[in-house]
Structure 1
Amino acid sequence: MWRAIASNALTLLIVALVMVAGAIAWGKAQFTAQGPLDSAICLRVAPGSTMTRVSKQLEGLDAVSSGMIFRLGADYTEKVSQLKAGAFLVPENASMEEIIDIVTRGGASTCGTEVVYRIGVTRTDVLVRELDPVTQSYMKVAEYFPDVTGNDATEVPEKYTQVRGANDTRYRISVAEGTTVWRIVESLKGVDFLTGSIEESEMPPEGTLAPDSYEVSVASDVDDLIARMTEAQTQRVADVWAQRADDLPISTPQEALVLASIIEKETGVPNERRQVASVFVNRLNQGMRLQTDPTVVYGVTNGNGVLGRGLRQSELQSKSPYNTYVVEGLPPGPIANPGLASLQAAVDPDETPYIFFVADGTGGHAFAVSLADHNANVAKWRDIEAQRTSQ
C-alpha cells in the first residue's frame, strides 16, 4: 500500500514539474515573442513609475499580451530597479523583452516633444515639435521668435510653456551653415534652458564653430556647448585636410577653413560647392584676385549682423584686408562657420576651366571660362533682376 502511495506521489510530482517547466517555457516564449503592437507608439514613463504601473500602461495600449509576464520577465532579468523616466519609442511588434530593454537602457528620450532652438544666418526661431511614432517624422506644434539680435520677437506660445518643464521634453540647438560666431553667440544668449554666459573676451575665432544639431539638456552650460562646437569643427578640418587633393594653392588647414567659408557664403546649392571651389582654386593658381562680395561684406560688418543693402563703390574700392577685389589671395581669416560639405569642397574641388560665375535666377549660378561668356551671363542675370523689380 505504501509503495503504491509513494508511486502515485512521485507520478504527481513529475507531472507537476513537467507542468511547471511547460509553464516556464511558455512564459519565456511569450516574453521573447513578437508583441501585439500593430504600429509604433510613444510610451511615456513618468518619474517615480514602477514596472507594475508601466505594465498596466502597456496592457492598456495593447502593447503586451500579459502584464504579469512582463513584470515577471523584468524581475527575472533583474531590470526592475533600472526603469528610467522619459518618452520612449516602442516599435511595431516589439517583444516584452525588447520593451524592457528600451525603458531601462537609459539615455535621452527617443520620442515625444522636442524643443529646437534654430540659429540661422539672419534670424533665430524656437520650434516645438512632436515625433509621430508611426512615420517617425516630426510635426510642428508651435513656433516663436525669441528676443535676440536680428529678430522681431513674437509671443511665447502656451505650448512651449507647457513642455518647457516636462521630464520627457528633449532640447536641441541647431546651427545653420554660414552663420558667424557673433550670430551664434548672440543667439545663445536668448536660450532660456541653458546656463552660463560668454564674455566678449571669450569669443571663439571666426569659423571655428561647427554648424550642426546639438542635443542638450536643461541647465546645460553654454560654455560646454561652445566647446563641443569648437571640438567638432577642429576635428572636421583635420579630417578633410588629411584627405586633400594634390597641388592645391592652399598650404595649411587654416587656409582651407578660410576658402571653405567663402564657398559657404557663395552658394547654398549642394551640387555647386565643388564647382564654386574650382573657380577660386583656378583664380588662385592663375594669380587672379578672388573678387567675391561676401568677403567685402564681412570686412564692412566684421560678421556682426547683416549688411542689409548692396555694397557701395567706396567699399568695393576700400583697402580692407577682406576686400578681395583689391587684395590678392585669401582674406586673413574665415568669414563664417562653414559646414562639412564646404570644407570638403575646399580641399577637393572639381577640375574645371571656370574662372567666373554669376547668379542664374534659379538659386544657382552660371559658370564661364571667358570674360565674354561671363558678361553674357551677367546681362541675363540683370534682365532677371529687372523683371523681378518691375513685378
Structure 2
Amino acid sequence: MAKSRTSLRLAAATLLLALIPLSGLWMWKGRGPLTAQATLLVKRGATVDALADQMEREGLIRNAALFKLWARARKLQLIRGEYTLEPGASLSDVANKLKRADIHYTNLVVPVGAHAWMLQARLKSFMPEDVFWTLWKSPRLAKTAGFPDAESLEGLVAPATYKLHHAMEPEEILLTLVEAFRDKVLPSLDGGALPPYETLILASLAEKETRVPTELPKVAGVYAQRLRIGMRLQCDPTTLYARWLSGDLRYTAPTAEDLHRTSRFNTYTRAGLPPTPIAVPSPAAIEAAKVPSLGKDLFFVATGKGGHAFAPSLSEHNRNVGAYRREIRRQKKALAHG
C-alpha cells in the first residue's frame, strides 16, 4: 500500500513537471489577449523591461516576465518604429515582429503644387496642428533646406512619396522633407537669371497658374517681364494664399475682397514677388523660372479649354477675357441642355 502511494506521488510529480514547460509553451504560442488590431509604438530610448510592462498593461500580451526572459536570452535590440499587431497575436508573434523590426510605414505623398495647409492636413495623425505650424517657421529647418533667411518652409520640401511611421518625432518628419529638398531640389535652382530663392518663388507662381507643362516658360516669362518693368504681377494664386493666411481656408475662385486684400503675399496690392513661395513647384516649373520665355506678352487668361491665351497689350488681353467668358457661358448652356 505504501509502495502504491509512493508510485502515485511520483506520477503526480512527473505530471506536474511535464505541465510546467507545457504551460510555458501555451503562454508563448497560445492565442493572445488582443480582440482587434492594435498599434505598438517603440519610441526612441525604449527599454525591453519598460516595453514589456507597457504591453502587458495595455493588453497586448499576457505575460511581461516571459517576454523579458526571451528578450534577454535572444539579446533583443529594440528598433524604433510602429508595429501593427493582429487580433489574437501570440507572445511569440509579438516577439518575432519586434525581432525582425517588421515596422509599419505610412506613405506621405507630397505632390507638386502642395502648400502648407495641404501638408498640415496630411500630417495631422503624426503631429498636433500647433506643433506643425511652430516647426513650419523653424529657422533651423529652413537653414537645413539651404535658405536660413526663409520665414517658413513653404516650397522647401521636395515633391515625393515619403515612408513615415508614428514613432518618429514631428521635427524629424519635417527634417526628412527638407533634407530631400536640399539634396534633390536645391542644386537645380542655380544658374537662372534670379537668385535661387527668387527662382523658387517664381517657379511656384507659374506652377499654380497653369497645369499645362508647355505653358510654364510663357507664364514665367510674363511675370519676368512684369518684374523687369516694375508692373505688378497680379497673380491670382497669391490672392488665395493671402486668404488662407488670414484664416479663411475656402478653396474657391478669388473674389473682389481677395484682390484688394492688404497682404505681403497679394501681388495685386504689392509690387514684386511674394516673400516666400506659395507651393511646391515641379522640376519643369523651376526650369521655366530659370529660363523664362521672354517675349512681348504681359497678360494671359484662361481659355476655358484647359490652357491660356497670352497677349502683349491690354486691349488684346480684354478680347481674350471676352472669349473666355463666352466659352464659359457656352459650356454652362451645354450642361443645362445636356
**Same fold flag (TM > 0.5):** yes
- Pick the aligned partner of 2:122 from 165, 173, 187: 187
CA distance in 1, matches of 2:155, 2:247: 13
What is the correspondence of 1:1-391 to structure 2 with a 5 Å cutoff? 171-190=106-125, 198-204=131-137, 205=152, 206-216=154-164, 219-244=167-192, 248=193, 250=194, 252-302=195-245, 306-390=249-333, 391=335
What are structure 1's unaligned runs of at least 5 residues? 1-164
**Cα shift at 1:339:** 2.6
C-alpha contact (below 8 Å) 2:159/2:282 kept by paired residues: yes
2:73 matched to which residue of 1?
A: none
Distance 1:376 1:328, change over 3 A: same
Distance 1:217 1:199, change over 3 A: closer
2:80 matched to which residue of 1?
A: none
CA distance in 2, matches of 1:170, 1:331: 36
Matched AA of 2:197: Q
Distance 1:306 1:340, change over 3 A: farther
Moved over 6 A (4+): 194-197
C-alpha contact (below 8 Å) 2:158/2:185 kept by paired residues: no
CA distance in 1, matches of 2:135, 2:282: 22
Distance 1:182 1:312, change over 3 A: closer
Matched AA of 2:110: V
**Cα shift at 1:180:** 1.2
**SS of residue paired to 2:163:** strand
**SS of residue paired to 1:213:** strand
C-alpha contact (below 8 Å) 1:367/1:374 kept by paired residues: yes
CA distance in 2, matches of 1:327, 1:270: 27
**Cα shift at 1:378:** 0.9
More strand as a share of residues: 1
Which is further off, 368-377 or 275-284? 368-377
C-alpha contact (below 8 Å) 2:120/2:129 kept by paired residues: no
C-alpha contact (below 8 Å) 1:257/1:343 kept by paired residues: yes
CA distance in 2, matches of 1:302, 1:196: 15
C-alpha contact (below 8 Å) 1:297/1:311 kept by paired residues: yes
**Cα shift at 1:304:** 6.3
Distance 1:170 1:315, change over 3 A: closer
CA distance in 1, matches of 2:173, 2:246: 21
Matched AA of 1:239: P
RMSD: 3.0
CA distance in 2, matches of 1:273, 1:200: 30
Distance 1:269 1:303, change over 3 A: farther
**Cα shift at 1:233:** 2.1
C-alpha contact (below 8 Å) 1:189/1:197 kept by paired residues: no
After superposition, what is the alpha-carbon deviation per residue over 1:34-88, rounded to whole angstroms, capped at 9, x for unaligned?
xxxxxxxxxxxxxxxxxxxxxxxxxxxxxxxxxxxxxxxxxxxxxxxxxxxxxxx
CA distance in 2, matches of 1:305, 1:235: 34
1:126 matched to which residue of 2?
A: none
C-alpha contact (below 8 Å) 1:275/1:349 kept by paired residues: yes
CA distance in 1, matches of 2:243, 2:235: 13
Higher relative contact order (CA 8 A, sep 6+): 2
More helix as a share of residues: 2
Matched AA of 2:232: R
**Cα shift at 1:280:** 0.6
C-alpha contact (below 8 Å) 1:182/1:303 kept by paired residues: no
Alignment: residue pair count:
220
Which is further off, 349-358 or 272-281? 349-358
**Cα shift at 1:375:** 1.4
What are structure 2's unaligned runs of at least 5 residues? 1-96, 138-151
CA distance in 2, matches of 1:341, 1:306: 28
CA distance in 2, matches of 1:200, 1:217: 20
What TM-score do you get using the length of structure 2 for normalisation?
0.57
